[in-house]
Amino acid sequence: MMEIRHQPVAPTRTQWLAPGAAIDAHRHDDHQIVYAGRGVLAVTTSTGSWVAPGTRAIWVPAGTVHAHQAHGELELRLVGLPDENPLGLEEPTVLAVAPLLRELILAYTHTPYDDTPERRRLRAVLLDQLRASPQQPLHLPTPTAPVLRALCAILRADPADNRTLAVLGREVGASERTLSRLFKADLGMTFPQWRTHLRLYHAQVLLADNTPVTTVAHRCGWASASAFIDVFRRTFGHTPGTHLHQQPTG
């Protein structure tokens, strides 16, 4: 059995991780905001994965067993929040990070051990901005049904696999109707929705490694770069070409 580290207090600090580096499964007694000042961050739990570039942050509730994964050179900003669930969120959640909130996170993690009145006021404004931040639909849930796990593993290995659900079903030994029902019941979304989430997840990872946009589009299963750019813009509010350039360093 994998050992899960328990850190009683969620840290507030800045940490650099090399491309591909990870922080193993652990949990905190406090809530935590996890933010990528540079690179793309993935947070994984037993129920799914959440991914965020510098225009997003990930809320990790107290007690959640989670691991971090760096895509690209990652400037990891961690904000520990000992309050009683200040955002009222019980599950990991991706939050939009506007320019003001981004600067607040950078400033708050710059001097993590300073407990001056100024820092407490900064923290209060930070929490106000977090509460006002829109939630983002960037969750890639992990299936529990064995047949669904097998199918999703095939697509995780090759997001460009364009086979229909009926054809994939024959490979894993389940009918299209059964699989459609399982996607709704187990993952809360349709098969096309899950596949789009998977492709966008992998697209962000590839972009973090400076992969050209056209290459990303084809490796993630879009027929053309323009089709990929359209879906990406509608989901994230900007084009993949400007995705990482929006991220600051501090």
What is the token pair recorded at 218?
């084809």
pLDDT in tens, 73-107: 899 999 998 877 888 999 899 999 999 999 999 99
* pLDDT (average), residues 200-225: 93
Phi, psi of 124 (to 5 degrees): -65, -40
pLDDT in tens, 130-189: 999 998 767 889 999 999 999 999 999 999 999 999 999 999 999 999 999 999 999 999
pLDDT at position 84, please?
A: 77
pLDDT in tens, 102-133: 999 999 998 877 788 999 999 999 999 999 99
pLDDT tops 50 at residue 250 = no
Looking at the chain, list the stretches that DSSP marks H as alpha helix, in order from N- to C-terminal side. 99-110, 117-132, 146-157, 165-172, 176-182, 191-208, 213-219, 225-236
Q: Which residues of 130-161 are buried (b: 16+ CB within 10 A; e: fewer)?
A: beebeebebbbbbbebebbeebbeebeeebee
Q: What is the pTM of this model?
A: 0.82
User: In which band, very low, low, confident or very high, does the pLDDT at 24 lie, cut at 50, 70 and 90?
Assistant: very high
Residues 6+ apart with CB under 8 A from 159: 195, 198, 199, 202, 219, 220, 221
Instruction: For residue 108, give the amino acid letter.
Output: Y
Is 204:214 a contact under the CB 8 Å cutoff? Answer: no
* Closest listed residue to residue 50, CA positions, set 19, 79, 93, 18: 93
Instruction: For residue 38, give the amino acid letter.
Output: R
Give me the domains of the chain, ranges plus CATH numbers. 5-139 (2.60.120.280), 140-246 (1.10.10.60)
